[in-house]
């Protein structure tokens, strides 16, 4: 479980002039960011136990910022703290996915209705660029890039809604959204269908019709959620298919397949560079 070591903080003299100083970030915040990113991209799997001593040694820090970071991640819902057992990464269950998916529908549908009336030409161009990036990632089988562009697409629309409280609420669940995206998108063999849904959202935003933008966004997220739950239930038949809280074993299998695919892509690129 290799995590990036947080950069050492350095005190630079404040420049004279009107430029604001860079905001200070604590070691605990940097640790939380590193663990959050590792959970989101699958380097740390659901259910993994997070030991303070091991993390402190690996990240080159004391246990105090590790403990503080794990507390923050627990408040976000990415980590579960258990008495006398420490912390572990939350395991995605049908219940959690339904909660995240349904809340996303409400928040992002509202955001889309507001953004449809506010987006300018430059912002539409940025959305188009993200959709094209998703298309290339889907064609090349670059799953990590697809998930990243998918997340940025939805984050961008929420930011462009011009509603500070809405965006703060969306940010509060952003860790779960990343985990949700990395799991749901993996369940689709036809990644082009995922991309096509985002193109439809952009078209609805361009119509300047708030109700249509809301509906298309909610339909996209709702279909993704329903299809994912259906696939999980079909894949889970034979043991305990009716338990809503059953762990997403299929998501773990999908993550392993994605990591293997990305490894093959990197190997191919490395060989190509070596031959030039």
Q: pLDDT band at residue 44, thresholds of 50, 70 and 90?
A: confident
Kindly give the residue spans of alpha helices, DSSP state H, lying in 116-209: 121-140, 143-160, 164-172, 174-184, 191-206
Q: pLDDT band at residue 47, thresholds of 50, 70 and 90?
A: confident
Single pTM value for the model? 0.66
Predicted local distance difference test score (pLDDT) of residue 266: 38
Q: pLDDT band at residue 166, thresholds of 50, 70 and 90?
A: very high
Predicted local distance difference test score (pLDDT) of residue 46: 80
The answer to whether 134 touches 153, Cβ cutoff 8 Å, is: yes
The answer to whether 123 touches 159, Cβ cutoff 8 Å, is: no
Q: Is the pLDDT of residue 71 over 80?
A: yes
Average pLDDT, the chain: 78
Residues 112-156: pLDDT tens digits? Answer: 999 999 999 999 999 999 999 999 988 887 877 888 899 999 999
Query: Tokens for 98?
Result: 């339904």
Cα separation, 46 vs 62, in Å, equals 24
Q: Is the pLDDT of residue 82 over 60?
A: yes
Q: pLDDT band at residue 86, thresholds of 50, 70 and 90?
A: confident
Q: What are the structural domains, with CATH classification, of the chain?
A: 27-89 (1.10.10.10), 94-233 (1.20.120.530)
**Total residues found in the chain within this entry:** 276
Q: pLDDT band at residue 261, thresholds of 50, 70 and 90?
A: very low
Residues 167-222: pLDDT tens digits? Answer: 999 988 887 787 777 666 555 556 777 889 999 999 999 999 999 999 999 999 98
Q: Is the pLDDT of residue 165 over 50?
A: yes
Residues 11-24: pLDDT tens digits? Answer: 444 445 566 566 67
Query: Tokens for 246?
Result: 């059953």
What lies within 8 Å, CB to CB, of 41 at 6+ separation is: 144, 147, 178, 182
The answer to whether 249 touches 241, Cβ cutoff 8 Å, is: no
If you compute the radius of gyration of the chain from its CA atoms, what whole number of angstroms results?
Answer: 20
């Amino acid at each position: 479980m290799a995590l990036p070591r947080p950069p050492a903080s350095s005190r630079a003299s404040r420049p004279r002039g009107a430029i604001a100083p860079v905001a200070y970030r604590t070691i605990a915040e940097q640790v939380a960011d590193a663990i959050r990113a590792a959970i989101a991209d699958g380097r740390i799997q659901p259910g993994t136990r997070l030991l303070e001593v091991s993390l402190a040694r690996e990240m080159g820090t004391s246990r105090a910022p590790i403990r503080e970071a794990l507390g923050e991640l627990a408040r976000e819902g990415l980590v579960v703290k258990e008495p006398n057992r420490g912390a572990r990464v939350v395991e995605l269950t049908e219940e959690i996915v339904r909660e995240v998916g349904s809340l996303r529908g409400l928040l992002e549908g509202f955001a889309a209705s507001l953004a449809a009336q506010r987006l300018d030409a430059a912002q539409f161009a940025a959305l188009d660029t993200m959709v094209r990036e998703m298309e290339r990632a889907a064609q090349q089988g670059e799953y990590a890039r697809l998930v990243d562009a998918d997340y940025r697409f939805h984050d961008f629309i929420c930011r462009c809604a011009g509603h500070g409280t809405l965006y703060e609420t969306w940010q509060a669940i952003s860790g779960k959204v990343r985990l949700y995206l990395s799991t749901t998108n993996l369940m689709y063999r036809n990644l082009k269908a995922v991309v096509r849904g985002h193109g439809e959202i952009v078209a609805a935003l361009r119509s300047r019709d708030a109700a249509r933008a809301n509906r298309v966004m909610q339909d996209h997220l709702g279909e993704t959620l329903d299809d994912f739950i259906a696939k999980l239930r079909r894949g889970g038949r034979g043991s305990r298919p009716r338990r809503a809280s059953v762990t997403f074993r299929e998501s773990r299998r999908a993550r392993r397949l994605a990591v293997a695919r990305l490894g093959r892509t990197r190997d191919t690129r490395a060989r190509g560079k070596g031959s030039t």
